[in-house]
Structure 1
Amino acid sequence: MTQIKHGFHGQWSIILPFFIVEEMDKNSMMNDLYFHSLGYFPSAKYHYISRPSGSPENILIYCTKGSGWFEFNGKVHGVKENQYIILPACIAHRYGANNSDPWTIFWIHFKGYKSDLFKNEFGKIISIDPENNSRIDERLKLFEEIYNVLSVSHDNNALQYANFGLSYFLGSLLYVKTHRSSKSEDKYGTSLIHLATHYMNENIGNKLKLPDIANYFGYSTSYFYRLFYKNMGIPPMEYFNQLKIQRSCYHLLSSTMKVNQISMRVGFEDPYYYSRLFKKTMGISPARYRVLNKLSDKFTGE
């Protein structure tokens, strides 16, 4: 039977380097709740994970389409659309997608002393049934925003911003009634920048130039540049390159491809340029990044 941990078409994920996770654990501004990794797996057919010793982190799995299942404390439970589960750290579990109706999931590995807030939810199926005042779209946009922030940078400002977002995201699930009752007029309509960052993510392996992206959205190059920089605080092509570097981090840890193959995979024909850009962005070379983060192979996928 086919079983897949990751590698689904259209997926995206971030795995923070182990030394950054350790720094967050020691930082009083972030160690209440903090990430290890997070991602999005659409229509994840044959998805399957088995951890006989559990995971070092708590795991949130939020199903937005399709269905799946999980085994916890010797019992198997089904999970369907608009339901989530939280599996506690260090306890054996298995989970996977239903082959006939594979789930689409957002997932987070998280730690921190505030994880105890969720202990009453551990191993349970929690439904978030859509209502007139549902804020599901806002919640998923927040998740994507957190991903985008971490894709660009792992400095303290980015990590702290992302962790504040994590707390809000988890709080919107834990206190869903309060979250819905506080809804005001929606000011988070789909914007050009949201569409542009999504377009970049979908074209990581392509050699797009700034005029290509601007023309795709029907804007002049100069206007698109100014608008993107105003909203994101970073030039669009620098942002695009950092997305490519983050995607290459995923390939370094999840595959056996050589560095030059990964360079081509994320749209860089010159592996030496890719290596220089990687070191400038991540502080270490691609090969060193792979070695350091595989010294402790605790993360098995999602």
Structure 2
Amino acid sequence: MMQIKHGFQGQWSIILPYFIVDRMGKNPMMNDLYFHSLGYFPNAKYHYINRPEGCPENILIYCTKGGGWIELDGKMQAVGENQFVILPANKAHRYGANELNSWSIYWIHFKGYKSELFSKVYGQVISLDSENTLRIDERFKLFEDIYNVLLDSYDDSALQYANSGLAYFLASILYVKRSGDPKTENKYGTSLIHLATHYMNQNIGNKLKLSDIARHFGYSVSYFYRLFYRNMGIAPMEYFNQLKVQRSCYYLINSTMKVNQISIMVGFDDPYYYSRLFKKMMGVSPVRYRAVNKQATPLI
């Protein structure tokens, strides 16, 4: 039988240059979860991959139509419509499309120390809710949006946006569908909060409300608040403001930006509100903090 790695009609994909992947791996703002490559293979007849030595990255395969199979640890499993599987890095594996009714797949190669959040589902073929068409359409739109952003630019803001989207995409298929099940709340709650704090980190410069964050992860405000507080011991927006103040501390010490400029950088249009919040959390004003922690004339 013919075997093809890529080159399917209508496919699209992007593989980030090595130096970009290396840069993300060394950047503390991005190295928790980040891309290596991603793509879409429609009607991928004769698709076949064999990696006896495994792959340096984790691989997500999300089947939208048709079917195929994966082999991991000597075990073969079928992968059908609206199912996904994550293959762990550095483990031998094979996968391919069915000869008849070949699969259409979205795929992602990703890395980062938070990849271990998904270790419990490595190698498991998991079915998604096929009746929630809105959620499915949102995933596809997000995936294509990430692809277009990476096509346009490799600057840090584009990479941070894409990697934040990666975290949300993974959360949307692994955790959101379980949100109504109390038996799985404790099991998956902590991992979801890790993704939520990652999302907050990536959006420090934006003016997000609690409803924005909850909606991003597909939760009601009350449920998200309760889950976050239970796991973190602090209200979500209080935590988000702490992140903003912490980031502004970095700017105060390591830049020559004025306080009102830093205020905008961390998502506050009103520098007076920012200064009051900073003093409440840090015990001193931003100007005083800079004077104490930086051997330079403070800028105002």
Report how far residue 181 of structure 1 moved.
5.0
Q: Kindly report the root-mean-square deviation, in angstroms, between the aligned alpha carbons of the 2 structures.
A: 1.4
Report how far residue 130 of structure 1 moved.
1.6
- Corresponding residue for residue 31 of structure 1: 31
More helix per residue: 2
- Alignment pair present for 1:7 and 2:7: yes
In 1, Cα distance between the equivalents of 2:35 and 2:173? 17
Report how far residue 182 of structure 1 moved.
4.6
Aligned residues: 183
- Corresponding residue for residue 108 of structure 1: 108
CA contact (8 A) 1:133 1:181 kept: no
- Corresponding residue for residue 62 of structure 1: 62
Question: Residue 90 of structure 2: SS of its match in structure 1?
Answer: coil
Report how far residue 129 of structure 1 moved.
2.4
Report how far residue 180 of structure 1 moved.
5.1
In 2, Cα distance between the equivalents of 1:64 and 1:7? 18
Question: Residue 49 of structure 1: SS of its match in structure 2?
Answer: strand
Report how far residue 176 of structure 1 moved.
2.8
What CA deviation, in whole Å up to 9, does each residue of 1:162-184 have, x standing for no partner? 0111111111111132355559x
- Corresponding residue for residue 121 of structure 1: 121
In 2, Cα distance between the equivalents of 1:90 and 1:148? 29
What CA deviation, in whole Å up to 9, does each residue of 1:230-281 have, x standing for no partner? xxxxxxxxxxxxxxxxxxxxxxxxxxxxxxxxxxxxxxxxxxxxxxxxxxxx
Unmatched tracts of structure 1, length 5 or more:
184-302
Report how far residue 132 of structure 1 moved.
4.5
Matching of residues 17-56 of structure 1 within 5 Å = 17-56=17-56
What CA deviation, in whole Å up to 9, does each residue of 1:145-194 have, x standing for no partner? 000000111111111110111111111111132355559xxxxxxxxxxx
Compute the TM-score of the two structures, normalised by the length of structure 1. Answer: 0.59
In 1, Cα distance between the equivalents of 2:80 and 2:163? 27
Report how far residue 136 of structure 1 moved.
0.5
What CA deviation, in whole Å up to 9, does each residue of 1:202-240 have, x standing for no partner? xxxxxxxxxxxxxxxxxxxxxxxxxxxxxxxxxxxxxxx
Aligned pair in 2 of structure 1 residues 133, 80: CA closer, same or farther (>3 Å)? closer
Larger Rg: 2
Unmatched tracts of structure 2, length 5 or more:
180-216, 222-300
- Corresponding residue for residue 91 of structure 1: 91
Report how far residue 94 of structure 1 moved.
0.1
In 2, Cα distance between the equivalents of 1:62 and 1:182? 26
Question: Residue 22 of structure 2: SS of its match in structure 1?
Answer: helix
Matching of residues 167-246 of structure 1 within 5 Å = 167-177=167-177, 178=179, 179=217, 181-182=219-220
Question: Residue 23 of structure 2: SS of its match in structure 1?
Answer: helix
In 1, Cα distance between the equivalents of 2:2 and 2:131? 37
Question: Residue 63 of structure 1: SS of its match in structure 2?
Answer: strand
AA in 1 matched with 2:68: G
Question: Residue 90 of structure 1: SS of its match in structure 2?
Answer: coil
- Corresponding residue for residue 159 of structure 1: 159
AA in 1 matched with 2:51: R
Question: Residue 109 of structure 1: SS of its match in structure 2?
Answer: strand
Aligned pair in 2 of structure 1 residues 150, 131: CA closer, same or farther (>3 Å)? same
Question: Residue 160 of structure 2: SS of its match in structure 1?
Answer: helix
Q: Sequence identity, in percent?
A: 69
Question: Residue 55 of structure 2: SS of its match in structure 1?
Answer: coil
Question: Residue 69 of structure 1: SS of its match in structure 2?
Answer: strand
In 1, Cα distance between the equivalents of 2:175 and 2:140? 16
What CA deviation, in whole Å up to 9, does each residue of 1:80-120 have, x standing for no partner? 00000000000000000001010000000000010011000
AA in 1 matched with 2:5: K
